[in-house]
Amino acid sequence: MKNTTTKKTTPKRKAPARSRAKSKKTPKTPKTSTFEKVTEVRTGYARLALMLVLANLFLTGYVISKISTIESDAQAEINKQKETVTTSSESDGGDI
């Protein structure tokens, strides 16, 4: 007779499932209509648009002031040329 010992085997257990941290549920936002989505204005874009309008205004004012300065300088030069022409012809005494 052989001395046989039987080894008791226990059934394998499944590995314990790792607990996953439950994510916090975000509160449901109320559904917005298509009209509300279209008319929504983001403040960053609104600020950028306002800055562009202001830059346009200042540049337009600058250009207008420079054009008026150039025109007034040109007009003053034309008036000086007319005065020199008329004064030189009057000093001759005329054709009489």
Q: What is the pLDDT of residues 53-79, one digit of tens each?
A: 999 999 999 999 999 998 888 888 888
CA distance 10 to 24: 40
For the chain, how many residues are written? 96
CA distance 67 to 73: 10
Report pLDDT for 48. Answer: 94
CA distance 46 to 55: 14
Which helix (DSSP H) or strand (DSSP E) does residue 37 occupy?
Answer: helix 34-38
Q: The whole model's pTM is what?
A: 0.41
Can you give the residue ranges of every domain in the chain? 37-90
CA distance 70 to 78: 12
Low-confidence ranges of the chain (pLDDT < 70): 1-30, 85-96
CA distance 65 to 63: 5
